[in-house]
Structure 1
């Protein structure tokens, strides 16, 4: 069941909601990127501590179905996004305070760090799930791929702008300067969110009727219904497998470039930038292509998902061959193609998620988005860890750097192939359900 619409979101509305996604990305960058580096380099913590805090913030996002159900029960989703952003921003500032305390009281700093990253995870869960549910209920099917592309491109842009600005303002580093810069990022992100959401939901969508509000299922009933639907259950598995594959190379690509191709830190950072450039290009192509054909070719997003997954698998096979070949391999084009196909798959998957979110018999968009967001968070938390630990273990076992990376890249490619197969299983489940409904 989905909210009744009076008009639906136009392109300007979608861009405004993309600004909210950019604001989420900007604040999350503080905890998962900036503070991670500061804790290890400037404050001398073991790398496992900030890595554990980042993993913990993903674990907290298992609460996404609860936040989604809460926004389903409300008449509007905007207050839930405001609440989540406030918790996210406050959590980032608590994490900053924890970082500054490391030198004077390490135990208290770690306790505050856990609290801060708990709030970051909860804030992302509440704001992100409610935002996706709002998009799912208000974006026309023909625009879903493009809407996913716009919002995710803007999220990446938000991360880039916030990281660049914060990096420029932090030098020369001092705890006071860190607090001021972090407060500025959080303040601007919250202000942008408030302005971007102003009257968007109220003008474009009709409020949920009181009877509809009362029909929202208990969380246990909702989860039972979602996981009892073949298409929703398989889509949950698809999200987990595909995002696990997507995130496995996050922590090993730059070490791979350094150990196997003898790249300097600057060169490997540029390689990572090339990958992100490919991701943006893939998102644009899938957004335009998926929307152009969505109205004329049923199942088109499924084709884009499979194209992205299989292309990612082939690119990873290329990296595995590159590990065996060494310096003669065209690494930069290979990595760009990996990013491109990752971007294609990601946008198509999010567009498909929006479509499936409104197909529940009794559950609404919020809790369904929450279930898939939780699967994504688990996969992201495990992916980087599995990739890094897999390389470390294999390097010790075979005493060859290239062979270790080759094995992990092949494993990751196999997961993408499995994800492509699962995407077709989801589509077949939906078609079968449609036949049953038509015959009943």
Structure 2
């Protein structure tokens, strides 16, 4: 055996250790196809950074919008979050003339996301009071824009994850989901850096360009992500057999073991960490006098910390760690950081 062959085999053995998600690929779902599918997570991360990070600070500091109004706007995308279970359930049972279950939901979710981002910059300019029109028009338009983006990103992420689990074999699904979570954090970090660089010299015109560029990029990346991913099944053109409804299925899940307690823990933990998210960039702008680029870099650091936490949790669980202890360690670390 030549030295080159020996080195190649050694690198192939090391790859899963160096890249924790390199073993997520399977013959049914090769790495190239999986990474292309994961592009929808990049657009979700980009929208999250834009709403909670960049626009949160810009609306309060640069545009002079009241913090209470901004808080309401940022809460609107979460209105759709409880409906994710219903969206996933409906996509499972969707009857499609074209034989697709997931693609229609992914496409219409993308259109909602694109539409919200397309009208958002002009709505924000009206909301800031820098016009001669009535203020309520800006408030209504901004509320519609945030609601559309929230509905779109929640639909895309829910159905995209469902499509990934459809395509991956059962043995690889945990690693595939972990890779998709890592892509979400990568999208957040890349978007935070890009928005920070583009808004270094802030102006209303530059803000319009950045948000509309994000809208176009969302359409392109999501289109690439779902292209030729879901095979068409003629069986889905027929009416689905009568089965349990959503409420019955939900009761079956919620009544299983300690599912309700887990849901409460996830909900409270998410609320706690999200409160810090909302305050991070306006605090940096108003109290610390940081620029838009500097406060957006804080969001990039937040995403980097999330990636580190995901990697540590994956290694801990792979070594037989207790999931409850891992979650408790994450909560304790967050409380320490907040303190």
- Which interval holds the TM-score relative to the shorter structure? 0.7 to 0.9
**Residue 225 of structure 1: aligned partner:** 252
Cα gap change, 1:216 to 1:186, in 2 (>3 Å): farther
| Residues 74-115 of structure 1 deviation map (CA, whole Å, 9 limit, x = unaligned) | 242022111101101211222222112132132211111111
Unpaired stretches in structure 1, ≥5 consecutive residues: 1-6, 294-299, 320-334, 336-404, 407-440
Distance 2:152 2:49 in 1: 14
**Residue 323 of structure 2: aligned partner:** 305
2:308 maps to which of 255, 276, 281:
281
1:116 maps to which of 129, 145, 166:
145
1:315 aligns with 2:328: no
Distance 1:304 1:265 in 2: 41
Distance 2:194 2:301 in 1: 20
1:60 aligns with 2:80: yes
Contact 2:188 2:303 in 1 (8 A): no
1:132 aligns with 2:157: no
Contact 2:199 2:206 in 1 (8 A): yes
Contact 2:56 2:278 in 1 (8 A): no
Contact 1:93 1:183 in 2 (8 A): yes
2:49 maps to which of 29, 50, 53:
29
- Per-residue deviation, 1:268: 9.0
Distance 1:52 1:73 in 2: 34
| Residues 257-283 of structure 1 deviation map (CA, whole Å, 9 limit, x = unaligned) | 9xxxx9885999877765543321232
- Per-residue deviation, 1:177: 2.8
1:213 maps to which of 233, 240, 246:
240
Cα gap change, 1:109 to 1:275, in 2 (>3 Å): closer
Distance 2:289 2:203 in 1: 28
Which is richer in helix?
Answer: 1
Distance 1:192 1:256 in 2: 32
* Equivalent residue runs for 1:408-427 within 5 Å: none
> 3-state DSSP class of the match of 1:27?
helix
Contact 2:40 2:157 in 1 (8 A): no
1:77 aligns with 2:106: no
Contact 1:84 1:127 in 2 (8 A): yes
Contact 1:22 1:151 in 2 (8 A): no
| Residues 276-315 of structure 1 deviation map (CA, whole Å, 9 limit, x = unaligned) | 433212323444665x66xxxxxx5xx4532422322443
Contact 1:30 1:92 in 2 (8 A): no
Tell me how large the CA RMSD over aligned residues is.
3.6
Contact 2:41 2:181 in 1 (8 A): yes
Contact 1:63 1:122 in 2 (8 A): no
Distance 1:28 1:145 in 2: 24
Contact 1:29 1:163 in 2 (8 A): yes
1:97 maps to which of 122, 144, 165:
122
1:196 aligns with 2:216: no
1:161 aligns with 2:190: yes
2:66 maps to which of 37, 40, 46:
46
Distance 1:53 1:254 in 2: 16
Unpaired stretches in structure 2, ≥5 consecutive residues: 1-26, 95-99
What TM-score comes out, normalization by structure 1 length? 0.59
**Residue 152 of structure 1: aligned partner:** 181
**Residue 5 of structure 2: aligned partner:** none
Q: Number of paired residues?
A: 302
